[in-house]
Amino acid sequence: MWRTTWARAAHLKPLDDSDEMMSYRTALLGLFAGFAGIILWLTLAGMNPLIAALQMGIYIFLITLIMTRAVSECGWMETETNFLPSHLVGLMVPLHSLGATNNSLIAFTNTIFCRDMRGTLLSPLMDLQKLAKETNTRFRSLSLPMLVAFLVSFVTAAMFFIYLGYSHGALSFYQNPNSNAKNMINFPPTTSREPAG
C-alpha cells in the first residue's frame, strides 16, 4: 500500500483518492513542507539542524506512529510514553556534550510534543476518520472543519502557553522534562553503583 500511495502522489500510478480527506500528493507535500518548517524553526531558535532533524524525525515518524496505533487500536483516550527522541540521540552522543542551547530546545520539544498523545494530532485524526466511516460521512468534507479547529486550538493554546509561562514561570509547567534538561546541561551522566555490602 505504501508503494502504491507514493506512486499515486508522484502521478506514476492511478489510484482513486477522491474519498480521502486530501489527495495523497497534498498529504505528502504537506508532510515534507511541515517537517522542513519545523527544522527551520528549531534551527533559527539555535538548535543544531542535525539534532533538530533527529529529535523531530524520531518523534514524528517513530513515536507518533507507534503511540497513535496503540491509542486507536486499544481504544484508549490518550497515553503517555517514557520513550523520548533524546533517548535514541543519547545512544549516539552524550547529551550533555550538545551544549545548553541544544539541551534546552530538546527539553522544550519534549515538553511540548513528545510526552503524551494530547499533543499529537494524528490520534484524534484517526478517531475522526473512524467516526466518519461509521456515520457514512465523506472524509473530504471534514477537511475544512478540521483545519478551522486546528487553527483555533493552536492560537488559543499558544496564547495560554505564553501567558502562563510569563505569569507563573515555564519551569512550573511540567517538572520532569525541565529537570532532565537541567541535569543534562550541568552534570555528565554517571553510572549508578550499588554500595558495597
Q: Is 117 helix (H, G, I), strand (E, B) or coil?
A: helix
Average pLDDT, the chain: 76
> Any idea which of 48-52, 85-89, 183-187 has the lowest mean pLDDT?
183-187
Tell me, what amino acid is at 58?
A: I
Quote the CA–CA distance of 78 and 67 in Å, as a whole number.
9
Retrieve residue 59's grid coordinates: 518523534
Quote the CA–CA distance of 43 and 33 in Å, as a whole number.
15
How much is the average pLDDT of 32-41? 93
Quote the CA–CA distance of 33 and 50 in Å, as a whole number.
17
Higher pLDDT: 71 or 89? It is: 89
CB atoms within 10 A of CB 103: 23
pLDDT > 90 in the chain, percent: 13
Quote the CA–CA distance of 184 and 45 in Å, as a whole number.
19
Compute the chain's Rg from CA coordinates: 20
Give this prediction's pTM. Answer: 0.66
Retrieve residue 179's grid coordinates: 529537570
Higher pLDDT: 5 or 46? It is: 46
Higher pLDDT: 12 or 189? It is: 12
Quote the CA–CA distance of 34 and 42 in Å, as a whole number.
12
Quote the CA–CA distance of 93 and 124 in Å, as a whole number.
34
pLDDT tens for each residue of 42-63: 999 999 999 999 999 988 888 8
Contacts 24+ apart (CB under 8 A), 182-186: 184/95, 184/96, 184/98, 184/103, 184/106, 184/107, 185/96, 185/99, 185/100, 185/103, 185/104, 186/96
Higher pLDDT: 38 or 67? It is: 38
Distances 83 to 8, 17, 31, 88 between C-alpha atoms, Å: 34, 34, 23, 9
Higher pLDDT: 70 or 119? It is: 70
Give me the pLDDT at residue 52, please.
Answer: 92
pLDDT tens for each residue of 125-134: 777 777 778 8
Give me the pLDDT at residue 154, please.
Answer: 84
Please report the sign of the dihedral spanned by the C-alpha atoms of residue 21, residue 41, residue 62, residue 72.
Answer: negative
Higher pLDDT: 142 or 14? It is: 142
Quote the CA–CA distance of 140 and 24 in Å, as a whole number.
12
Give me the pLDDT at residue 190, please.
Answer: 46
Give me the pLDDT at residue 48, please.
Answer: 92
> Any idea which of 67-71, 100-104, 119-123, 172-176 has the lowest mean pLDDT?
172-176
